[in-house]
Chain A
């Protein structure tokens, strides 16, 4: 199985300041079709997860442009350019390149 790790696991942030979360996969998650199926999800308290970013760097519909994703191969990053209050929650990276699909442990972002 592909193991996803995240750092940090907890990130106190200041409103208006940037934040960054790293995600690493235990092996390359480049699919045979050439795509890298790495997504970022946000889970606000008491809510189901919500898709933010797919295929490393593509923002999902309705996601603010302060969220951006980057990376390649085994190392990936989610950046929030200016944290807002509604960004509080847990952020997960996940890979869907191969079964079993796996998630990182989550990074808790709080103010």
Chain B
């Protein structure tokens, strides 16, 4: 059974940092690209970042470029999102998702809430 367990969210002041983790199990982690998607309270879904299976390719939405860094440790089957210079508009539930070869987000984690507020 595929499981994606996101963690690391919390309350942080504007300008602060957080590192999210997504522990994967039930599949060969290195064979799949992975994605972070966020959802602000009461809002829709927004793609944040993706990373290829080997980690050599990374992609970001414009609003987080230069502030967020996606990475992965295939030996630990874990995906990360380092978030720096956080802003109020980054407040959201952050989901990790498995990005399949059919351009689909096959499985999603339960999400971790990031709140940026003073």
Contact = CB atoms under 8 A, between A and B. Distances in A.
Interface of A: 31, 35, 37, 39, 41, 43, 48-51, 54-55, 58, 60, 92, 94, 96-97, 99-106
Contacts, number: 67
A103 B46 contact: yes
11 contacts: A37-B103, A39-B105, A43-B45, A48-B110, A49-B105, A51-B104, A92-B45, A94-B45, A99-B50, A101-B35, A103-B45
Interface size class of chain B, counting residues whose CB lies under 8 Å from the partner chain = 20 to 34
A41 B105 contact: yes
Contacts of A60: 104, 106
Interface SS majority for chain A: loop
Nearest to A101: B47
B61 A100 contact: yes
Interface of B: 35, 37, 44-47, 50, 59, 61-62, 95, 97, 99-100, 102-111
A49 B97 CA distance: 10
Contact of B102 (A41, A55, A100, A102): A55
A50 B108 contact: yes
Given A92-B44, A103-B45, A49 B108 contact: yes
Contacts of A104: 44
